[in-house]
């Protein structure tokens, strides 16, 4: 016995930053960003903490499932941009919700949500939980050098959450890691050596083309592998929830898979790349739009810094 998704929730910051607004302080153009990535705008945390966003997404999911904080047996947060180095985001979310269960973070970059689902799977398999809250939340804007046009135009902030309960909705889940830090990383700050405080900041550094090459392979291979493991044909997949890093990467996967392109869910135009939060936000938006029907098979795939990648097939069991 593993899990089924009982409900979903999401939260976005109040502030929208359009490409046109970005062009006022970064050497870029709306045309470049749209044509190379498909992004038109992103949301950024100007007033909100990441805990605010994550807790709001969690509350939305809990309300929909009729779950109280005291019902939760575990809180897992997937993030690389927590409010604190320590405590974890899961701890600050637990406090905000008034829960008392164990809570910890998963650091696996963009596929972090799927890595967290794998941990949750283990808790259900061992009979250690009946209700698990998984929240993927990112304030990627805090990790950007806003003078570096090769990275800052790509990312956005947001949070998505799911409540999981015992069930057999999970059909396959595969994780992969290839340790290759140099292509995409955020260095730890080195500003606090004794007598040498520099106040140094750390920003995301990326070799975009290397990540792109990894991403197109990881996306197609990951989706195919998860669909095969689930014992279904590509044509039986109702919806694909691909990581929203670049529309061109998604279009490449569309052209290679036997799944009609209209079944690929996309929100990169409005939200940009919210890292670990992309898939659960897409899930909640699609639920709200009435796209997901009970019994639908959802294929998910994400890739990111590590390098990490993960894919899954999950049957939608909620009403």
Annotated catalytic sites, by residue? 110, 243, 273
Bridge partners, residue 75, by sequence: 103, 133
Q: Kindly state the smallest distance separating residue 161's Cβ from ligand UT7, in Å.
A: 20
The distance of closest approach from Cβ of residue 39 to ligand UT7 in the complex, given in angstroms and rounded to an integer, is: 9
By CB neighbour count within 10 A (0-12 exposed, 13-18 middle, 19+ buried), where does 27 fall? exposed
Q: Which is nearer to ligand UT7, 130 or 248 (CB)?
A: 248
**Core vs surface per residue 162-189: b (16+ CB within 10 A) or e:** bbbbbeebbbbbbbbeeebeebbbbeee
- Is residue 208 at the binding interface for ligand UT7, with CB under 6 A as the rule? yes
Does 304 contact ligand UT7 by CB under 6 A?
yes
**Is residue 185 at the binding interface for ligand UT7, with CB under 6 A as the rule?**
no
Which x/- pattern over 101-130 shows residues binding ligand UT7 (rule: CB under 6 A)? ---------x--------------------
145 scored as a contact of ligand UT7 (CB under 6 A): no
Stretch in the footprint of ligand UT7 (CB under 6 A) among 12-20, 63-71, 148-156, 255-263: 148-156
Q: Which residue is nearest to ligand UT7 (CB)?
A: 208
- Long-range contacts (CB closer than 8 Å, 24 or more residues apart) made by 86-91: 89/50, 89/51, 89/54, 89/135, 89/137, 90/135
Contact positions with ligand UT7 (CB under 6 A) in 266-285: 273
Among 100, 150, 178, 217, binds ligand UT7 (CB under 6 A): 150
Q: How far is the CB of 261 from ligand UT7 (least distance, A)?
A: 19
Q: Which of 142, 149, 225, 263 binds ligand UT7 (CB under 6 A)?
A: 149
Cβ atoms of 6 and 283 closer than 8 Å: no
246 binds ligand UT7 (CB under 6 A): yes
**Ramachandran sector of residue 143 (left: φ over 0; alpha: ψ -120 to 50; beta: rest):** alpha
9/242 with CB nearer ligand UT7: 242
Burial (CB < 10 A; 0-12, 13-18, 19+), residue 117, is buried
**Interface with ligand UT7, residue 36, by CB under 6 A:** yes
CA 261 – CA 251 distance, rounded (Å): 8
Phi, psi of 45 (to 5 degrees): -75, 105
* Cα Rg of the chain (Å, integer): 19
Distance of CA 112 to CAs 106, 220, 233, 247, 259, Å?
6, 18, 26, 20, 25
Instruction: Find the binder of ligand UT7 among 15, 16, 30, 32 (CB under 6 A).
Output: 32
How many C-beta atoms surround the C-beta of residue 126 within 10 A? 8
* Binding mask of the shown chain, residues 62 to 81, with x at each position contacting ligand UT7 by CB under 6 A: --------------------
- Interacting residues toward ligand UT7 by CB under 6 A: 28, 32-33, 36-37, 110, 149-150, 153, 184, 208-209, 211-212, 215, 245-246, 273, 304
């Amino acid at each position: 016995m593993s899990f089924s998704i009982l409900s979903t929730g999401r939260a976005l910051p109040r502030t929208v930053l359009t490409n046109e607004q970005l062009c006022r302080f970064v050497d870029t153009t709306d045309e470049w960003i749209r044509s190379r990535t498909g992004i038109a705008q992103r949301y950024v945390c100007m007033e909100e903490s990441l805990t605010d966003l994550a807790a709001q997404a969690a509350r939305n999911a809990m309300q929909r499932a009729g779950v109280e904080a005291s019902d939760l047996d575990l809180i897992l947060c997937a993030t690389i941009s927590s409010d604190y180095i320590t405590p974890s985001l899961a701890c600050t979310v637990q406090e905000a919700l008034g829960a008392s269960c164990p809570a910890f973070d998963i650091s696996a970059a963009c596929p972090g949500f799927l890595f967290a689902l794998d941990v949750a799977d283990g808790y259900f398999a061992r009979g250690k939980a009946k209700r698990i809250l998984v929240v993927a939340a990112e304030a990627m804007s805090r990790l950007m050098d806003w003078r570096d046009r090769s990275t800052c135009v790509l990312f956005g902030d947001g949070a998505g959450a799911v409540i999981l309960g015992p069930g057999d909705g999970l059909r396959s889940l595969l994780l992969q890691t290839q340790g290759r830090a140099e292509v995409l990383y955020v260095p730890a700050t080195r500003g606090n050596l004794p007598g040498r405080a520099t106040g140094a900041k750390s920003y995301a550094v990326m070799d975009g083309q290397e990540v792109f090459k990894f991403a197109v392979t990881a996306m197609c291979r990951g989706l195919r592998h998860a669909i095969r493991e689930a014992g279904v044909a590509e044509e039986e997949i109702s919806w694909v929830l691909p990581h929203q890093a670049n529309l061109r990467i998604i279009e490449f996967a569309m052209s290679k898979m036997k799944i009609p392109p209209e079944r690929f869910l996309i929100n990169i135009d409005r939200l940009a790349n919210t890292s670990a939060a992309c898939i659960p936000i897409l899930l909640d938006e699609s639920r709200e739009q009435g796209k997901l029907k009970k019994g639908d098979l959802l294929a998910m795939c994400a890739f990111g810094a590590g390098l990490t990648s993960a894919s899954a097939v999950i049957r939608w069991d909620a009403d």
